[in-house]
């Protein structure tokens, strides 16, 4: 496998006029335009008809993460505003779900707007009056939530903030629901509107944890799912909690100097088994996050078969770290010197390992960087929006369809496709 470390991000750019960025979603989710790329040919349709372009017995895999209202605004007594953007839980929590279910208080890794105006000893307070409480922990009627934020620690690229609240019976997920705002991407230059709470969320969103939507899924509706079922197209779900790192620009001269963001993934044993059973069919990832999760399963599954993993995990020398704590590192797919392990064998090994450890869900992190040179193991089709120039997401698309990414993006620009999160999308078949 070719090492993409020498790739210059400057070779993966294009001119994106400001007016081509979609600042609002269309009135109907499935009315967005759909570009279909297959065997170097390009066609056009709308998402409502996507089932017509997918063969029977295919498997579509969706990311069912849920965007949380991660922006918290605090008003200082002097009148200034401090914005706390909740990125991910402190490392003391084993996973995002556990952290989201914390009551009374929590530690969170955050970005802080106006941090220079926030004295370390100052406790920020925010009161939220709720007329109707949907939580089972509170009685109905007018209630008040008090949220406090305390400065704990400054890190290289973030802050550790202690958040506490009352009523203490509420979970942190509920606190964000009542006190926070949906974090639209930085390239959408407008204020958040009430409708964003619904539209910047997939219809199948389930598990709290993302600060950005898996945008390819925003186009899917119950009508589409009904058409998929009628055509005997299966659907499966994985969870990757999208971090703010998805918008992190590549500033390094070469990819070797760029640190890919790590994100939590959560995949059930049943889903891995479904993927295993469909290896001979078309497995289509709905979104780059789903694709990164599915491909990460292969690299996790090959470990119990490799001597290097057996040493690291303690199977040989009796020391090491648990399998699920290792995660998939940025460069792992490009550094394998051992024999190529078949996908079927790797996934069977992963299921066997989970059964041995009585695990129904695999929860770990992936930092996988998919760029030109990557050899795809599982995914044959990709549903995805149009991504920013010089982004790791564009590198992934280039890895999937080769240099034809320029042809696809050129066509989209020339034919009035809308770009980025609220824009149109594409169905790409692996070259």
> Is residue 189 situated within a structural domain?
no
For residue 421, the model assigns a pLDDT of: 97
Q: What is the per-residue DSSP string for 64-132? A: -EEE---EEEEE-TTS-EEEEEEEEE-TTSSSHHHHHT-BSEEEEEEEEETGGGS-TTPPEEEEEEESS
Q: Which of 148, 181, 214 is the last residue of a domain?
A: 181
Between CA 385 and CA 202 the distance in angstroms is: 14
Please compute the mean of the pLDDT values over residues 177-186 and round it to a whole number.
93
Summary count for the chain: helices (H), strands (E):
11, 17
- Domain identity same for 267 and 286: yes
Confidence at 135, pLDDT banded by 50, 70, 90:
low
- For range 226-248, the mean pLDDT: 92
| Position 386 in a domain | yes
Any domain includes 190:
no
Boundary-marking domain end, from 129, 147, 181? 181
Residues 55 and 86 both lie in one domain: no
Looking at the domain assignment, is residue 194 inside a domain?
Answer: no
Question: Among 63-72, 145-154, 296-305, 323-332, which stretch is predicted with the lowest mean pLDDT?
Answer: 323-332
What pLDDT was estimated at residue 415? 98
pLDDT of amino acid 119? 84
Of 12-21, 119-128, 324-333, which one has max mean pLDDT?
Answer: 12-21
Pair 424, 362 in one domain: yes
Confidence bin at 267 (pLDDT 50/70/90): very high
Where is average pLDDT lowest: 10-14, 25-29, 243-247? 243-247
257 lies in the same domain as 379: yes
pLDDT at 142: 66
Return the beta strands (E) in 212-302 as ranges. 234-240, 263-268, 283-286
- Does position 138 have pLDDT exceeding 90, yes or no? no
Q: What is the mean pLDDT of residues 191-198?
A: 94
**φ and ψ at residue 274, rounded to 5 degrees:** -65, -45
Question: Is 242 inside a domain boundary?
Answer: yes
**Average model confidence (pLDDT) for the chain?**
90
Question: Are both 83 and 177 inside the same structural domain?
Answer: yes
Measure the CA–CA gap between 82 and 84, rounded to whole angstroms: 7
Structural domain that includes position 208: 4-66+199-429
Measure the CA–CA gap between 396 and 83, rounded to whole angstroms: 32
**Residues 292 and 318 both lie in one domain:** yes
The CATH number linked to 420 is 3.40.1780.10
- Residue 243 located in a structural domain: yes
Q: What is the pLDDT of residue 55?
A: 97
Q: 313 pLDDT exceeds 60?
A: no
Confirm whether 187 is domain-assigned: no
pLDDT score at 325: 54
Quick one: pLDDT at residue 140? Answer: 54
CA–CA gap between residue 218 and residue 383 (Å, rounded): 11
Average pLDDT over residues 284-298: 98
Q: Which residue has the higher pLDDT, 235 or 135?
A: 235
Residue 188 within a domain: no
pLDDT of residue 303: 80
Quote the pLDDT of residue 323.
47
At 336 the pLDDT is 77
Question: 420 and 389: one domain?
Answer: yes
Residue 408 has pLDDT above 90, yes or no: yes
Q: Which of 118, 178, 116, 181 lies closest to 147, judged by CA?
A: 178
Tell whether 62 and 77 lie within a shared domain.
Answer: no
Whether 134 has a pLDDT exceeding 60, the answer reads no
Residue 420 has pLDDT above 80, yes or no: yes
| pTM of the model as a whole | 0.91
Query: Average pLDDT for residues 222-239, to the nearest whole number?
Result: 98
Start-to-end CA distance of the chain, whole Å, equals 16
**Predicted local distance difference test score (pLDDT) of residue 190:** 93
> How many domains does the structure of the chain reveal?
2
Residue 74 pLDDT grade (very low, low, confident, very high; cuts 50, 70, 90) = very high
Nearest to 185 by CA among 161, 207, 204, 210: 210
Q: Are residues 107 and 240 in the same domain?
A: no
In this predicted structure, the answer to whether residue 312 has a pLDDT above a threshold of 50 is no
Decide if pLDDT at 274 tops 90: yes
**What is the band of 370 on the pLDDT scale with cuts at 50, 70, 90?**
very high
Based on the fold, state whether residues 74 and 129 are members of the same structural domain.
yes
Task: State residue 326's pLDDT score.
Answer: 59
132 and 216 housed in the same domain: no
For the segment 147-170, the average pLDDT, to the nearest whole number, is: 94
Does one domain contain both 173 and 217? no
**Of 146, 181, 216, which residue sits at a domain end?**
181
């Amino acid at each position: 496998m070719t090492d993409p470390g020498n790739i210059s991000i400057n070779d993966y750019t294009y001119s994106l006029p400001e007016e081509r960025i979609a600042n609002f979603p269309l009135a109907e989710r499935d009315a967005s335009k759909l570009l279909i790329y297959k065997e170097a040919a390009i066609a056009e349709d709308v998402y409502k008809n996507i089932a017509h372009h997918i063969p029977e017995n295919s498997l579509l895999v969706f990311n069912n993460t849920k965007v949380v209202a991660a922006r918290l605004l605090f008003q200082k007594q002097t009148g200034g505003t401090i914005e706390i953007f909740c990125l991910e839980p402190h490392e003391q929590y084993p996973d995002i779900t556990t952290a989201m279910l914390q009551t009374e208080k929590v530690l969170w890794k955050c970005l802080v707007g106006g941090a220079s105006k926030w004295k370390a000893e100052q406790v920020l307070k925010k009161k939220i009056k709720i007329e109707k409480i949907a939580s089972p922990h509170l009685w109905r009627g007018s209630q008040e939530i008090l949220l406090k934020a305390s400065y704990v620690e400054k890190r290289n690229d973030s802050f550790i903030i202690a958040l506490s609240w009352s009523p203490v019976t509420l979970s942190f997920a509920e606190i964000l629901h009542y006190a926070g705002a949906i974090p639209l991407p930085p390239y959408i230059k407008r204020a958040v509107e009430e409708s964003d709470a619904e539209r910047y969320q997939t219809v199948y969103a389930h598990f709290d944890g993302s600060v950005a939507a898996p945008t390819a899924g925003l186009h899917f509706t119950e009508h589409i799912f009904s058409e998929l079922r009628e055509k005997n197209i299966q659907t499966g779900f994985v969870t990757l909690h999208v971090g703010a790192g998805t918008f992190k620009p590549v500033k390094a001269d070469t990819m070797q100097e760029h640190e890919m963001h790590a994100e939590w993934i959560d995949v059930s044993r049943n889903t891995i088994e479904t993927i295993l059973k469909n290896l001979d069919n078309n497995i289509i990832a709905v979104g780059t996050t789903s694709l990164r999760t599915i491909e990460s399963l292969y690299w996790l599954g090959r470990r119990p078969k490799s001597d290097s993993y057996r040493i690291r995990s303690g199977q040989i020398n009796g020391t090491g770290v648990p399998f699920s704590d290792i995660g998939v590192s940025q460069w792992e797919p490009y550094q394998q010197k051992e024999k190529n392990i078949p996908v079927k064998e790797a996934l069977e090994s992963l299921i066997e390992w989970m059964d041995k450890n009585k695990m129904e869900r695999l929860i770990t992190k992936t930092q996988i960087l998919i760029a030109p040179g990557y050899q795809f193991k599982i995914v044959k089709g990709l549903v995805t929006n149009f991504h920013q120039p010089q982004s790791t997401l564009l590198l992934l698309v280039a890895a999937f369809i080769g240099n034809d990414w320029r042809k696809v993006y050129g066509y989209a620009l020339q034919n009035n496709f809308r770009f980025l999160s609220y824009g149109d999308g594409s169905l790409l078949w692996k070259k």
